[in-house]
Structure 1
Amino acid sequence: MTTTSSPGSGLSKARLGVQRFGTFLSGMIMPNIAAFIAWGFITMLFISAGWLGGWYPVADLLGGFGDAAQINWPGAMTALAQDADGATFSQYVGLVGPMITYLLPLLIANTAGRMIHGERGGVVATIATMGVIVGTSIPMFLGAMIMGPFAALMTKWMDRLWEGKIKPGFEMLVNNFSAGILGMLLSILGFFVFGPVIIGVSNVLGGAVAWLVSLHLLPLASIIVEPAKVLFLNNAINHGVFTPLGLEQVTEAGKSILFLIEANPGPGAGLLLAFSFFGVGLAKSSAPGALVIQFLGGIHEIYFPYALAKPMTILALIAGGATGVATNMVLGGGLAFPAAPGSIIAVTAAASGPAAGGIGNLLVVYLSVVLAAAVTFLITAVILRASHKRDLAAEGAGADSFGAAISQTTANKGKESSVLGTLGAPAAAATASATTPIRTVVFACDAGMGSSAMGASVLRNKIKKAGIEGVTVTNQAIANLDGTADLVITQQQLTDRATAKSPNSIHVSVDNFMNSPKYDEVVEMVRNQEEK
């Protein structure tokens, strides 16, 4: 089954283009979040200001402090024989410095290269980015996000030059030497050209953030961030922009406020709490469960339809987000590494390290979450109470405002309005197309995490309860679909992209990963095949 759509308007195409670019940016970061968290815990535990900073000799070796050498950038490691207390993270020689200087940027570059040109693209991107790293004096996250894709594209174009022209038996020789030579040239280019350019770009961006902070204007970022989240650009904003800038700040200060501009769970929690008390119909009954998922699970997108059910509440989200940012800016709150997903549990882990300020910093961050939630709750409550009678009357007349909000959510992700009402068609078509046994089911979304993971869990439980065995249900990013899945489930606005990546699979479109009647139809389809 495939889904077709009519050509969208210029605005829809522009939104889709921005979404795809944002997805590409976040796609370089998201698969490597575990590495950022690992680095964060190592700094939290083993640097001289860490929890185990005085535990000699293990902490001394892992954290690289005390009388250990510092790194003189650019150049080789030079023993300075001085106490590293107060040194920036990139100067620690143990695990801390090499991980943030080499490991994390190289992981980003390799991921970007693989996204564009598979393993060869990843290898050449990594080689090229090494030149950028050693030619600069700061951690090269932005450099990796630029050089990685550029090197992979160059490799892709190079391979096209002699595609099908290599004589049998010489393929490995040509492939290995061409990639090696190109990687060498690009690493030299990165050392002399890309490195200085990226330093300039980083200085400009860092200066812009510092300027906003000095003028106390950083809370105004919420005017852009909160509506953009509802438009499903949250991963692009957080991991494509704030994460690389924030990590550079961490190397100097031990924490960054940028990690909390988008990831603060307070605004979404306040919105869902207000709907729990003052909403109507399905929005009210489902809000408490959504609150648990959003606040503890960190899946922020679950509250987007609630905001779109009452667009005025986006103002409440902006006010709450700005309140949280202002609180952290005034009191010096921040995180030592990205909170991904944006769960209060992840926020706690990233805020509690001694290098970030310990318990004092954690209390500031908690205060920013509470105040953001309180402001959002109060404004949303006023908005909902003002229209409560009208909403009850519409509910009694059979209006499905929340369902319409879910449809509007898909529209904001780039789906043309002409197909939003055909919610029943995809499942029927999928059932008719199931001519081969279904053994692998993949839930696919932009990042391959969050909502698709929840959907996979829901269907997995349904299949288990139905007593069906031998069916594997997983989740992954659309960019990683390789055509091997028997059935792919996506949200409606992403089905066309999934079909292009996996054309031989059966495709089912749903409007909501958490609760869709299509799941029961998929289970029934698989059960019918088992009985044949």
Structure 2
Amino acid sequence: MIKLFTELKRVADRRRGVCLTRGNVMNVIQKTGKFYSRIIMKNIGIFVFIGLLSVVFQTEGWFPNEDIYAISQVAYRYVLPCMIAYEGGNLLSDSFGGLAAVMALCGILLRDPEAGIFGAMVSAPLGGYLWKKEREFLERDCFAETKMLFRNLLLGLTGAVLAVGEYYLLAEAVTVFAVAAGSCIGWILEHGYIAVLNVLIEPAKVFFLNNIMNHGILVPLGMSQAEQTGGSLLFLLETNPGPGLGMLLGLLLYKRKNVKRRQELATAAFTQAIGGIHEVYFPFVLADLGLLLPLIVGGVAGSIWFSVFHCETAGVISPGSVLTILIMAGRSSMLPVLGGILVSTAVSGVGSYLYLCWRGERKEVPQSEIPESEKQEELEKENTEMSGLERELETASEQEEKPMPENIYQNLHKIGFVCNGGMGSSAMGAALFRRALKTAGITGIQVGVYAADLIEEDIDLIVCQKEFYALNPQLHEKVCHVIAGFTDREEYTKLIQCIQDAQNGGTR
């Protein structure tokens, strides 16, 4: 699958002159996924609010109370869809675009309140994009004295037209889609095929698509299912920290004699289990893609356990830490959910350790004992052109060795830590770096966190992980300090040393 992805990318790169290429299609899919992921992540607090009320006050909760539980249902049916629509419209244009999206959503909510989240995902881009075009008209052709009047009239008219149009034209289609998606998920659960999804989920996570996979796909479907049954297994699929934790523990056991590596892996394992930040283990897998197999097997084992023991959580899990999962699991599912996490951890850990031992032994086999056919295959592989992913990773390595622009470290005012969503691993790295700056006594440098496609123009220096840099060509045009991992404190020590040398008149 990885080879197929990279080959498709290579073909697309060779056909840049063609209007519609596979690369363009992949780019559109990725941007769409990021759009929906971002508007969902902006409202994670409301998802957690609904989940907590459900866990505590539903019929099988800790303190059953129908009246308080009803608050969560109001939030699910009306407040959450409106907020998702608003964030989407605001993201595409401005706050007025968000209002247009909310007004448009009213048509779908009237027809079917149960399909509110799916309706919001339609209304958000529709209202936001339409208002963006209308705003351009207002700014270009409307007099300043009458701009406010025409803006309000046009906004009200746009909302009314969209609401009526969605009521008659889109509401039925959204309802059919919601029912079909629910039926499909029900069929998968009923026939025990839920574990097959991990074959897609684990590789997608490693290539920094975890937020898109979870918040863009699984969360909306899970919320729809939770509304009907009180909980959903879908919330556990991507957020399960077991596969990544097991892989890190397997690496830790294999590298136990390497003190520096052991400390780094122990930090990453703790961050994965307690902090719930999955991105910390992605670089280890990208450095050796063979580790994808035990990750997938561990995820499948956990999902099978969750399915057999009917595990579920009442609401969205964010971040995906063991503590958060147990809180959202509630009284009835707490122990079974913990068992599934432990099973996936054990399977992934044992598989990773066995794979590393096999790979190590393979490297130590004398050349005389390797069959000639295998020698020839390895030689041909070395002589063939590198795959797209390998080439990009090599480019990232070369970028690390290039000298930075003159005086870049001397005139630093704003540093941006960048990851896919701008809320997970980069936030952790930024926090560690702020602490390191404070310890070193360096002031006057602002440290922020950004998604890869939302980097501000006034950023002096970008800090990102090596593999993430390789997979995001738009970063190659910016001034980047590429590091091995956000949990590696030595990387921050080196960066601070560069800053101190520059401020003291030294050279890098």
User: TM-score, length-normalised on structure 1?
Assistant: 0.79
Aligned-pair identity (%): 27
2:140 is paired with a residue whose SS is: coil
Per the alignment, residue 31 of structure 1 pairs with: 42
Instruction: State the match for 2:425 in structure 1.
Output: 451
Equivalence for 1:183: 159
Deviations 1:34-62 (A, max 9, x none): 11111211222334543233xxxxx5653
Q: How many residues get paired?
A: 463
2:338 aligned residue (360, 366, 370)? 366
Contact 1:431–1:522 (Cα < 8 Å) also in 2: no
More helix per residue:
2
Return the letter of the residue paired with 1:324.
Answer: G
Following the alignment from structure 1 to structure 2, what is the Cα–Cα distance between the partners of residues 517 and 177? 58
Alignment RMSD (CA, Å)? 3.1
Match for 1:157: what amino acid?
K
1:141 corresponds to which of 117, 120, 126: 117
Aligned to 1:105: 81
Do the aligned partners of residues 431 and 244 (structure 1) sit closer, same or farther apart at CA in structure 2, a change above 3 Å counting? farther
Q: CA distance change for structure 1 residues 163 and 494 in 2, over 3 Å: closer, same or farther?
A: farther
What's the CA shift for 1:306? 2.5
Residue 349 of structure 1: CA displacement? 1.1
Structure 2 counterparts to residues 405-420 of structure 1, below 5 A: 416-417=392-393, 419-420=395-396
CA contact (8 A) 1:35 1:104 kept: yes
Aligned to 2:404: 429
SS at match of 2:399: coil
**Contact 1:102–1:133, Cα closer than 8 Å, also in 2:** yes
Alignment of 1:174-253 (within 5 A): 174-253=150-229
Distance, in Å, in 2 between the alignment partners of 1:259 and 1:524 is: 43
In structure 2, the gaps of 5 or more residues are 1-7, 14-22, 367-386
SS of the equivalent of 1:160 reads helix
Maintained 8 Å contact 1:495/1:507? no
Gap regions ≥5 residues in structure 1: 1-6, 54-58, 64-91, 353-357, 395-409
Which one-letter code corresponds to 1:450 in the other structure?
A: G
1:18-417 equivalence runs, <5 A: 18-53=29-64, 61-63=67-69, 92=70, 95-279=71-255, 286-352=264-330, 358=331, 360-390=332-362, 416-417=392-393
* Kept after mapping to 2: 8 A contact 1:449/1:476: yes
Change over 3 Å in CA distance of 1:137–1:164 after alignment to 2: closer
Q: Secondary structure at the match of 1:333?
A: coil
Distance 1:159 1:509, change over 3 A: farther
Name the CA distance, whole Å, in 2 between partners of 1:181 and 1:319. 54
Q: Which amino acid aligns with 2:407?
A: A
Could you tell me which residue of structure 2 aligns to residue 470 of structure 1? 444
Indicate if the aligned counterparts of 2:138 and 2:151 stay in contact, CA closer than 8 A: no
Cα distance, 1:446–1:417 mapped onto 2, change above 3 Å: closer
The amino acid across from 1:182 in the alignment is T
Superposed displacement of residue 424, structure 1: 2.8
Distance 1:497 1:110 in 2: 28
Q: Distance in 1 between matches of 2:85 and 2:281?
A: 33
Per the TM alignment, residue 169 of structure 1 is displaced from its structure 2 partner at its CA by 1.3
Which of residues 487, 490, 500 in structure 2 aligns to 1:514?
Answer: 487
**Structure 2 Cα separation of the partners of residues 521 and 431 of structure 1:** 18
176-185 or 510-519, which moves further after superposition? 510-519
Q: Secondary structure at the match of 2:404?
A: helix
SS at match of 2:296: helix
Whether the aligned pair in 2 keeps the contact of 1:46 and 1:62 (CA below 8 Å) is yes
- Structure 1 residue aligned with 2:19: none
SS of structure 1 residue aligned to 2:144: coil
- 1:15 to partner: Cα distance: 5.2
